[in-house]
Structure 1
Amino acid sequence: MKKRPSMVRETAAAGGVGVILMTGYAAVTTLPRGTNLELAIVICLALLTLTASIALWRFMVRHKDGIGEARFDTTKPPRD
């Protein structure tokens, strides 16, 4: 069964979001939480991870037709 191009793009978007989430999860679970400052850093990192994954997903949804495609303006003559 051949995959549709939109399905491939959605899979790529889910893969990118998954990478961000798993990297953030790994960082959050390995950082120490002994002091209030360390706990605050872990919470900020978790929020940053969630924000970045949502931002990437929204970007992929909005620009799904143009991602991976080079666009060149061929109407202008080449420069010398």
Structure 2
Amino acid sequence: MEQDGPDICAMSFEEALRSLEDVVRRLEGGEVPLDESIALYERGEALRRHCQARLDAAQERIEKIVSGPDGKPTGTAPFDAG
């Protein structure tokens, strides 16, 4: 069953996105038994949350770019994800 796939927390954004796309394709195909469909949907939701968290973290890092008095980027500030 797909539920036993790789640990989502250890996946890169790209890996999680590919897995999510696979889940969507399988569900849209309509050939998956009901119980497996439910497990796939749950895994898909976990993958979606993981991807969103990775995107949110990237956005925060981008927002940490430090601007000088003239508004031009002068560097970055340390990002604390914790």
Q: TM-score, normalised by structure 2?
A: 0.45
Structure number with greater CO (CA < 8 Å, separation at least 6) is 1
Larger Rg: 1
- So what's the TM-score if we normalise by structure 1? 0.46
